[in-house]
Structure 1
Amino acid sequence: MQPLEILIRDARAVADGSSFVPPAATAENEVARILQICNACRYCEGFCAVFPAMTRRLEFGNADVHYLANLCHNCGACLHACQYAPPHEFAVNVPQAMARVRLRTYRLYAWPSAFGRLYERNGLVVSLALAAGFALFLILALALRGTLWRAAPGGSFYDVFPHRLMVGVFAPVFLFAVVALGVGVRRFWREMGPGVASAAETAEAGAAVATLKYLGGGHGDGCNNDDDRFSLARRHFHQTTFYGFLLCFLSTSVATLYHYLLGLEAPYAYMSLPALLGIAGGIGITVGTLGLGWLNLRRHPLQGDAQQKPMDLGFIAMLLFIAVSGLALAAWRASAAMPTLLALHLGAVIALFLTMPYGKFAHGPLRAAALLKWAIERRQPNCLSLADD
């Protein structure tokens, strides 16, 4: 049987749901099959970084597939432009196939691996259960002390939970998340084998991350979310969430400097830099996650992997709850409700840190690594093009 006939046979099996299973059928095999067809067509070559990176390869091993899947931003433009998309017998669906591989990479590169498998199956349930569990533990502790519903002097959080206790709990959890993410990215980077990045390559990749360049769609008009219309909504909501998160992180960093370097202890005035950064970040995350959740629920089934929805929605729900509870905490920090609000907020933050390396948050570092790999690769000679010349 000829290679093209094999591709057609496998595509028909995917399209009609028959019992035939291609040899060693995996998500990676499906992406490799699709990219072989795309490599012959090349209609979408100018859409995003995935397709020019694809044209540098004749075969697609697992390392190549993992790299290209994380380079894909799932904008959907190629699906709507493809003449071989379902219901065509080739059943070419790049966004969906790439999404399935990305889900696998979150688990494959996770450290420790067992945690990745657990979160892959129960993203929404695990996220909410962890947040509720930690919050309930803190609420019970406050109830036993008789401080669950009592205004603290000056609205000080440290009168509810001592500063040393908060640092002793959050510092190890945060460091664990950073180490786990670092190990996962290192595993991914070593598999790709991209070499050493120059300053120009690092700057290019950083700009692509900061501007979410490839969420602009194939022609810069935006993504195809639930139909053929282009929209920049996904890009804008992603940016609002991303920069809101950075503002919140910056707020915490500035507050840490205030505490340890300047000797200024919380609570800080509403017009202080830590408070302004935190409130702005909380508003950004709230707006961004509400928008992303709305788009996620409306997204066309062909645009992504249904198995990722629990993980996506779990991450979105976690960020939204942290932002809303943080804003409520800032608004009512001088009230008797502050201890309860603080327990709810801290419980969600601990849960977020623990699940960071094993869910949707991991796509950020992995995608940044893939973009850096592309910045390095695109400056190297294309051996396939030279061979054609």
Structure 2
Amino acid sequence: MQSLEALTRDARALAEGEIVITAAESEVARQMTVCNACRYCEGFCAVFPAMTRRLEFGKADIHFLANLCHNCGACLHACQYAPPHEFAINVPQAMAQVRGQTYADYAWPPALGALYKRNGLALALALVLAFSAFLALALGLKGTLWGPAAGGSFYELFPHGLMVSLFAPVFAFVALALALGVRRFWRDVTPATSGQPASAPALSEATHDALTLRYLDGGHGQGCSNEDDAYTLSRRRFHHFTFYGFMLCFAATSVATVYHYAFGWAAPYDLPSLPKLLGVLGGVSLCVGTAGLGWLRLRRHPAHGDAAQKPMDLGFIALLFLTAASGLALWLSRGTPALVLLLCLHLGAVLALFATLPYGKFAHGIYRTASLLRHAVEKRQPNPIGLGAD
């Protein structure tokens, strides 16, 4: 719950027009007020215990709660005030709409926040085709577009220094944009979540909850709710395949970088080398996870989320799948004429993925982790209103 000073400051800023409460934020505040009176869902996830520590919901509280929500849908299916009731309580949908707004609000540079609304499936595929065509054109002008590279070496087509000069600036920008965005978010929500710094126990708990996706179990261990009220752990499992597949691929690239610069061992690497083992396992896991998430996203009922974000979700899933699938195909095509075009496709997919990371669905993991950490900090403080499930 915000301190009296913070609430007074927000009220003054609101009156002076410095803080603008959007319609989506007002709807979350309305629904949380109803839920605070009911509290049937208090044990479902982190959102409701955090809610019970508040009597009023300012902008920072709403942003914090919206990013704490994992959109499992359990509260919607349990709610006696869900549509068609006149209260029209749909917490997952209301929270999803505010989450999308926070990504744009905290984007860096701010002018690029509008990209969240345009970063859809069509744009993702267009970027892949554009980058791939550009790389293929470059190879065509060099006369190396047709025919396999000797030994299957990518560096004979694109020198290592050229690849570094292409990807390092993009990666640095992605890291900077996401870091500055979450820094602003953290500074805004900290006063609304006790204001205390993160302790080691809080950090440990938040890390565990983020890595295990604890709050995708529906509050009862059976998983997310489908539109027919049946439970499923599919979303949790496919998220795990996707996240850990991505991390394995990142680890493969990191180990390969150490091999190249520390030991002078140039790619390509073969089994059973560590970069290849990590890359293959990560690529397969990423393909399974993204294919599953895409299938679930296409089938999910519109009431379970924000329909306006569906193109962004599918765009991000498609880029991850293309990156993983083209990477695996490269391994299988070494020594064949297909390698050159597949390399252009793979590098195009990676460039498109990196270019859209700060302004796409990837951001939700960053902001959600920050909210989990603030929740872990807040729950360790005395409840300011003396009631709650912490």
Aligned-residue offset at 1:188? 0.5
Q: Which residue of 1 aligns with 2:9?
A: none
Q: Call closer, same or farther: CA 1:24–1:353 in 2, change over 3 Å.
A: closer
**1:235 counterpart SS class:** helix
Structure 2: which amino acid aligns with 1:262? F
- Aligned partners of 1:202 and 1:372 also within 8 Å: yes
User: Higher mean Cα deviation, 371-380 or 348-357?
Assistant: 348-357
Aligned-residue offset at 1:195? 3.3
Q: Which residue of 1 aligns with 2:273?
A: 272
Q: Which residue of 1 aligns with 2:78?
A: 81
User: Equivalent of 1:64, from 45, 61, 70?
Assistant: 61
- Aligned partners of 1:130 and 1:351 also within 8 Å: yes
| Cα shift readout 1:241-282 (whole Å, capped 9, x = no counterpart) | 000000000000000000011111111112211011001101
Q: Which residue of 1 aligns with 2:188?
A: 191
Q: Does 2:311 align with 1:310?
A: yes
Q: Which residue of 1 aligns with 2:6?
A: none
Q: 1:262-301 alignment to 2 at 5 Å?
A: 262-301=263-302
Q: Which residue of 2 aligns with 1:369?
A: 370
| Cα shift readout 1:205-237 (whole Å, capped 9, x = no counterpart) | 000011010011121110013320011000000
| Cα shift readout 1:154-211 (whole Å, capped 9, x = no counterpart) | 1111001000000011011001000000001101000001432111111110000110
Structure 2: which amino acid aligns with 1:276? L
Q: Which residue of 2 aligns with 1:30?
A: 27
Unaligned runs of 5+ in 2: 1-19
Aligned-residue offset at 1:300? 1.1
User: Higher mean Cα deviation, 277-286 or 221-230?
Assistant: 221-230
Residues of 2 paired with 1:321 and 1:272: CA distance?
Answer: 24
Residues of 1 paired with 2:316 and 2:226: CA distance?
Answer: 19
Q: Which residue of 1 aligns with 2:382?
A: 381
- Aligned partners of 1:149 and 1:336 also within 8 Å: yes
Q: Does 2:130 align with 1:129?
A: no
Residues of 1 paired with 2:159 and 2:37: CA distance?
Answer: 63
Q: Which residue of 2 aligns with 1:9?
A: none
Aligned-residue offset at 1:101? 0.4
**1:107 counterpart SS class:** helix
Q: Which residue of 1 aligns with 2:103?
A: 106
User: Higher mean Cα deviation, 339-348 or 242-251?
Assistant: 339-348
Q: Which residue of 2 aligns with 1:201?
A: 202
**1:385 counterpart SS class:** coil
User: Equivalent of 1:178, from 175, 180, 183?
Assistant: 175
What TM-score results when the alignment is normalised by the length of structure 1?
0.92
Q: Call closer, same or farther: CA 1:119–1:130 in 2, change over 3 Å.
A: farther
- Aligned partners of 1:227 and 1:300 also within 8 Å: no
Aligned-residue offset at 1:121? 2.9
Aligned-residue offset at 1:25? 5.5
Q: 1:221-370 alignment to 2 at 5 Å?
A: 221-370=222-371
Count residues in correspondence.
365
Structure 2: which amino acid aligns with 1:26? A
Q: Which runs of 4+ in 1 moved over 3 A?
A: none
| Cα shift readout 1:51-110 (whole Å, capped 9, x = no counterpart) | 000000011111100000000000000000000000000000000000000100110111
- Aligned partners of 2:52 and 2:387 also within 8 Å: no
Residues of 1 paired with 2:160 and 2:141: CA distance?
Answer: 19
Q: Which residue of 2 aligns with 1:216?
A: 217
Residues of 1 paired with 2:149 and 2:271: CA distance?
Answer: 17
Residues of 2 paired with 1:330 and 1:367: CA distance?
Answer: 35
What TM-score results when the alignment is normalised by the length of structure 2?
0.92
Unaligned runs of 5+ in 1: 1-22
Q: Which residue of 1 aligns with 2:5?
A: none
**1:269 counterpart SS class:** coil
